[in-house]
Amino acid sequence: MSSNIKKPLKALLFLLSLCCIVGCTPIGEAEPPETVRITESATITTTTAPVTTTVTTTTAPPLNKRIEFLAVGDNLIHTYIYKDASERAEALGFTGAYDFSGMYEGIRPLVKEADIAYINQETPLAGEEFGYSGYPQFNTPREMGTNLVEMGFDIINIANNHMLDMRDDGLVATIDYWDSQDVLQIGGYLNEEDYNTIRYYEYDGVTIAFLSYTYGTNGIPLQDKYELVIPLPDDETVKRHLTEARENADFVFVSFHWGFEDTFEPNADQMHYAALCNEYGADVIIGTHPHVLQPIEVLTNEEGKETLVIYSLGNLLSTQSYYRNMVGGLVTFDIVMTEDKKAIENVKLTPTMTYYNSNHRELSLYLLEDFPQELISTHGAQENKYFTYDTLVEMLDVIPEEYLNFNPTE
């Protein structure tokens, strides 16, 4: 065979071997997206057809949170109140039990409607083994706690001047009770680590930090039987707590049991801690203890940070002797969180009124605007001759008009 024939044959054999190795496209069929071609210089090149990818993007809805918060003041359970609750339970056939629920019907719908509800439970719930008692050293039946939870309260503050009425054992028992309920207990701390562990409450993706302090415990000291801590405020501790809370929460609320009893204006201590909390970024201060209403104001620091300060909400339920202690405040506001802002809006205080008769029974809470004026003549606090509906309304003068929600029926 001549050399002129061998060269084409070798070339043909080479091409056939390549087809066996890499595969060839059959004649008459379109090339697949990826092909291998032999060039004159025998260089292998790969070409890939363009790939069209469709990307579907989902735009998150704009952040728009609005949470309704409600707060009430001192739930101060005197002996008359739990005796009335005992008689109500017995009338229902529950001997040896206590039913407080009917006393709160006047505010129940508002508490139920709120997204988050706060109360200062002024008296310990240490348990029956401590014996039930009223003023001056309280211990309240735990049915009160059951009724408050059922009503819709979520945040229970126990840092107040009566928290050691049943001494260390009673405080531990009260803490254990509230920690067993579906609520956030603030103000009761088993040890230093517990005290420095900030309480957070999350609702609808919004996190609120709660701090709690009391001015004292009526001179009753800890017995050092446990490692309990009474949250007595000092500047450095409050600053440290606020700084940590600010870093880990969307909002910071501070509960302060402070001020002088039966005074309608805040004292120097209240004003000092209000300014301090504003400086360190608190959003809301809820004040309790004076047993009467005190003003509401908004403080603004040098950086433009605003703090809503409710100096005192007065009493919720009590059988104190004077009409001034019968008017309390139920405050509501919106916690707002959007793409552009975090704010406290729509602040309103709705006055409440406690009624009890001359036998200290028939305990009932009303909205003051719905309080039947004819009940004034039978009220158990009627020993004060100046007790009229007008004198009740006059106590609202301490609340700025922009925050007052009061529309009495004629």
Classify residue 221 as exposed, middle or buried by CB count within 10 Å of its CB (0-12, 13-18, 19+): exposed
Element (H, E) at 392: helix 389-394
For 294-309, what is each residue's pLDDT tens digit?
A: 999 999 999 999 999 9
Rounded distance between C-alpha atoms, residue 163 and residue 124, angstroms = 6
Contact 63, 337 (CB under 8 A): yes
342-355 and 364-367 strand pairing: antiparallel
pLDDT on residue 16: 35
If phi > 0 it is left, if psi is from -120 to 50 it is alpha, else beta; for residue 93 that is left
Contact 230, 192 (CB under 8 A): no
Element (H, E) at 188: none
Residue recorded with tokens 């001192």: 74
Token output for 168: 């260390």
pLDDT on residue 279: 98
Question: Above 50 in pLDDT, residue 41?
Answer: no
pLDDT on residue 382: 77
* Cis, bond preceding 26 (omega within 30 deg of 0): no
pLDDT on residue 384: 73
CATH fold of the domain at 65-403: Purple Acid Phosphatase; chain A, domain 2 (3.60.21)
pLDDT on residue 410: 60
pLDDT band at 52 (very low <50, low <70, confident <90, very high): low
Contact 89, 100 (CB under 8 A): no
3-state secondary structure of 88: helix
For 131-145, what is each residue's pLDDT tens digit?
A: 999 999 999 999 999
Rounded distance between C-alpha atoms, residue 209 and residue 66, angstroms = 17
Average pLDDT over residues 346-350: 98
Instruction: Say what angle helices 235-248 and 268-279 make with each other, to 10 degrees.
Output: 40
Rounded distance between C-alpha atoms, residue 84 and residue 88, angstroms = 6
**Structural domain spans, the chain:** 65-403
